[in-house]
Structure 1
Amino acid sequence: MSKLNIVLASQSPRRRELLELMQIPFTAIAADIDETFNPDLPVTRNIMDIAEKKARAVIKKLTKSTADTVILGADTTVVFGNKPLGKPSGREEAYAMLAELQGTSHKVMTGFALLQGTLCHTDYATTLVEFSPMTGKEINHYIDTQQPFDKAGAYGIQDPFMSCFIRRIEGCYYNVVGLPLSHIYSVMRTMGLV
């Protein structure tokens, strides 16, 4: 469908699986950058900036880049109230994050950047997720079996057992996993990439 050279600026297995759903061939390259939020900027600006930094870091790694090369960078965070919850530093923080989210709703936001030559389009998507309450024992079981330390907010909506506690979502499911596919595809179409 596309003659473009799509490069995903990520080694996340979840993002690779999601991008495969678009049925557009791509390669994936890790984007080793500092993902620390700037506290002076809103969450939306932070996630779009980080996504763009990932894309720009990967384009520098390419030995050959042509006008047909498009880099996709993305950054996902969980926002509870006004507080962004990134990846937990360890078990204690993962437990605290999951305990905080119980019986409430929160936002999952993914910023993305599509970089082609000098053109860079950034945007973001938001999904509302509502959790049913989990007991302390259930939280510990989830942490023990899923090891959610590489996931924003200390959970993956697609993980086994977590499905028992997702009461409701409003918005794109794939955004919660890590890439708002319909939004990205729509932007790619607008840019004439697909």
Structure 2
Amino acid sequence: MRRADPAVKLILASNSPRRRQLLSDLGLAYEVRLREVNEDFPEHLVRAEVAEYLAARKAAAYAADLAPDEVVLTADTIVCLENDVLNKPANATEAVAMLTRLQGRAHDVFTGVCLQCGDGRQVVFSDQTTVYFRALTPAEIDYYVLHYQPFDKAGAYGAQDWIGMVAITRLEGSYFNVMGLPVHRVWAELEKLSALPPKS
């Protein structure tokens, strides 16, 4: 891992092991801070607006406590089937229902990201990936839900899981965005904020 820039401290406000791994794979030093944040959103918001709203809402929970040299990264990933938002399923029944709707169709994955700086600067953006699923049998869906219990995943699936290997036929956009963080955009925006460690 690269040596962290002592002038900047990156905070990841996420319990997602996938986001942690992606930041680590980028070579970024970071600290994890967790707080409970209500993830309801206004009904008039659609698609990318929802992801960006939720990311900014999460960041607001940390803004008042940030030191001037800290930057908190918050993110929210949603799956959209047309304009319907498929968030995290509450149970196996909801997971099966979501996957049944997604199978055999294309859907869009949006990840909203907020970078909130302790000095008051804020950057909010989102990235979109279109995912194509082949048709799945009820037995395949039941197997996945039973063995992988995707209740912490938007749309009830993880692209890096078994179902991603057998169901995803192609992607338009970033694979890492589907995993939960558009790392190419995060890297570029952090660089603008001078929040990257030395590249040497």
TM-score by length of 2: 0.90
Structure 2 partner of 1:42: 46
Q: Would you say the 8 A contact 2:46–2:83 is kept in 1?
A: no
Q: Displacement of 1:162 after TM fit? A: 3.0
Q: Runs of 4 or more off by more than 3 Å in structure 1?
A: none
Structure 1 partner of 2:21: 17
Q: Would you say the 8 A contact 2:157–2:163 is kept in 1?
A: no
- Aligned with 1:148: secondary structure? coil
Q: Structure 2 CA distance, aligned partners of 1:74 and 1:128? A: 18
Superposition map of 1:1-194 within 5 A: 2-3=5-6, 4-60=8-64, 62=65, 65-116=66-117, 117-194=119-196
Q: Would you say the 8 A contact 2:130–2:171 is kept in 1?
A: yes
- Aligned with 2:10: secondary structure? strand
Q: Displacement of 1:44 after TM fit? A: 2.0
Q: Structure 2 CA distance, aligned partners of 1:47 and 1:24? A: 24
Q: Give 2:128's aligned amino acid.
A: T
What is the root-mean-square deviation in Å for CA atoms of aligned residues? Answer: 1.4
Q: Would you say the 8 A contact 1:30–1:58 is kept in 2?
A: no
- Aligned with 2:151: secondary structure? helix
Single out whichever of 161-170 and 139-148 deviates more from structure 2: 161-170
Q: Would you say the 8 A contact 1:35–1:50 is kept in 2?
A: yes
What runs of 5+ residues in structure 1 fail to find an aligned partner? none
Q: Structure 1 CA distance, aligned partners of 2:62 and 2:150? A: 26
Q: Deviations over 1:73-126 (max 9, x none)?
A: 000000001111000111111111101111111000000000112111100000
Q: Structure 2 CA distance, aligned partners of 1:23 and 1:186? A: 14
**In percent, how many aligned pairs have the same letter?**
37
Q: Would you say the 8 A contact 1:142–1:162 is kept in 2?
A: no
How many residues get paired?
A: 191
TM-score by length of 1: 0.93
Q: Structure 2 CA distance, aligned partners of 1:31 and 1:156? A: 23
Q: Structure 1 CA distance, aligned partners of 2:124 and 2:67? A: 20
Q: Structure 2 CA distance, aligned partners of 1:73 and 1:82? A: 23
Q: Give 1:20's aligned amino acid.
A: S
- Aligned with 1:16: secondary structure? helix
Q: Would you say the 8 A contact 2:10–2:195 is kept in 1?
A: no
